[in-house]
Amino acid sequence: MLVLLIEDDPELSDGIATFLAGQGDSVVVEANGMAADRLLQEKNFDIVLVDVGLPGLSGYEIVRRIRERRQALPVIMITARDALDDRIYGLDLGADDYLSKPFELAELTARMRATTRRGANNVARRIEFGPLSMDMQGRFASLAEQPLIVSSREWDLLSTLAAADGHTVPKERLQGDGSVNALEVYVYRLRRRLEAAGLSIRTVRGFGYRLEVTGGVANKTRHDANR
């Protein structure tokens, strides 16, 4: 993977970069938040590891800008701030995972694998489900013709539900390597944004979830591999 590591502690960034390089990853290290934000607009990375406390721009602001630009690349926040409110704030901004310092490098790589493994399994280049349109190649989503800004984890969840064509998707498939509680949080957040446009994520108790257009789902989905 091509990894952007945004960390201003040189000892920590050197240790992470060396370890990841030993695992076969290519790592770009940037200590300044503003410079990192420019890099994100110039180069396509596979995953971003970002500290919160940075010169130039905070890690929170970097994540906010990533999602504002509708970049659905995976983001893991690595920080000494481990309070619940800090974690919730980072996830609400669009981070996919949150790792508190100090941490084991093996855990970091496991979380990286889990985060990047969750999506990109759709063959169709575009999926349309009622008012929802998802460009699978460009990883852009729109809802009722308005940009829909989602995190990488939310993208994976929503695209899997949309691709299921109104059928129920087992909770275990949607959960992946994350926890049940994390899945329920993402479902709740997506519901709030979808319902106003006439989409609903229906809970099928004891099994999973399905995406529905309010009033029915028949003939509402199109998978287009040629667009």
Map out the domains of the chain as residue ranges. 2-120, 126-213
Out of 3.40.50.360, 1.20.1290.10, 1.10.10.10, 1.10.3720.10, the CATH code matching 126-213 is 1.10.10.10
Question: What is the tens place of the pLDDT at every residue in 32-86?
Answer: 999 999 999 888 888 999 999 899 999 999 998 988 877 778 899 988 876 777 7
Percent of the chain with pLDDT over 90: 37
The C-alpha atoms of residue 225 and residue 227 are separated, in whole angstroms, by: 6
pTM of the model: 0.56
Question: What is the tens place of the pLDDT at every residue in 106-117?
Answer: 999 988 988 877
Where are the strands (E) in the chain, listed by range? 2-6, 26-30, 47-50, 75-79, 97-100, 126-129, 132-135, 140-143, 146-147, 169-170, 199-204, 208-213, 221-224
Specify the pLDDT at position 123.
40
Specify the pLDDT at position 217.
41
Higher model confidence: residue 119 or residue 200?
200
Specify the pLDDT at position 68.
82
Question: What is the tens place of the pLDDT at every residue in 211-220?
Answer: 999 854 433 4
CATH top-level class of 2-120: alpha beta
Specify the pLDDT at position 6.
97
